[in-house]
Amino acid sequence: MIAKIEHNGTKFKVDLLKPIDISIEISATPKSVSAWYLDPMNIEPVKGEGFVGAVKEGGSVNFRNISFNPHGHSTHTECLGHITPEVHNVNEHITTFFFTAEVVSIVPEKIDGDEIITQDQIVSALKSNPNPEAIVIRTLPNYDSKINRQYSNSNPPYLTEDAALEVRSRGIKHLLIDTPSVDKEVDGGKLLAHHAFWNVPESPRFDCSITELIYVPTEIQDDTYLLNLGFASINNDASPSKPVLYRLL
């Protein structure tokens, strides 16, 4: 199904029957991707007063409670409420869901035992499209194991403060990355990249988002895409999300 789209004055076509899902499925198993020292998500049937919410256990329907943390159990989209004293709701602040997005592949630099995405690497990656609405960062090497990696105590790659400032300075509103965080796993609570991207507390960018723990398949080329950034309508600073790319025709 070919759709003709005009977005911010630019006309292009996309095939809606060929979505590229860059989210990671949440599942109640130790093999599911996780971070921040969390136990696996939990799904269990509701039980009580002769009722059981499991057909295989004799119930009439499957009716389960689900317990998970959006930040650590899979792909999630967060707003600036992740780092502010005030409670801000991602569902309130992110109200449009289609954006032009530049997929870029970056080999993080190894500095003092860390793997770091630098400002210069962001500048180089965006040479062909310097001002997209969204940037999708795929770190290299791009192992398939990213979809079930246990990230706790592994010091994954992260952005420097200057790299996040570079993204913000270009007017990019949506930052997506295939690691658990844009910041270092243990940084003493500084979260420099988060603060730089959202410009908190100086001049907060309420309509901007960070999406973490994505996975961009290796066969997807670096290029400009249409991004559909969908997430659940949960009143929280972050929500599980399903970012989907479409090739421009």
186 in a domain, yes or no?
yes
- Is 57 domain-assigned? no
Q: State the amino acid at position 119 in one-letter form.
A: Q
**102 in any annotated domain:** yes
Residue 84 lies in a domain: yes
Residue 10 pLDDT: 85
CA nearest neighbour of 137 among 53, 213, 57: 213
CATH number of the domain that 6 lies in?
3.50.30.50
| pLDDT attached to residue 6 | 86
DSSP, res 164: H
Answer yes or no: is 39 within a domain.
no
CB neighbours (10 Å) of residue 67?
12
Q: Which residue has the tokens 């999300």?
A: 241
The answer as to whether 40 is a domain residue is no
- Tell whether 213 is covered by a domain: yes
Residue whose token pair is 């070919």 = 2
pLDDT tens for the chain, residues 1 to 249: 898 988 888 898 999 999 999 999 999 999 899 999 999 999 999 999 999 999 999 999 999 999 999 999 999 999 999 999 999 999 999 999 999 999 999 999 999 999 999 999 999 999 999 999 999 999 999 999 999 999 999 999 999 999 999 999 999 999 999 999 999 999 999 999 999 999 999 999 999 999 999 999 999 999 999 999 999 999 999 999 999 999 999
In a domain, 44, yes or no: no
What's the pTM? Answer: 0.97
In this predicted structure, what is the pLDDT of residue 33? 97
Instruction: Return the bridge partners of 150, or none.
Output: 34
**pLDDT of the residue at 46:** 98
Taking the C-alpha atoms of residue 205 and residue 15, their distance in angstroms, rounded to an integer, is 32
- Counting the structural domains of the chain, the total is 1
| Structural domain range at position 105 | 2-33+70-247
Q: What is the structure's pLDDT at 7?
A: 84
Q: Which of 42, 18, 20, 19 is nearest to 29 (CA)?
A: 42
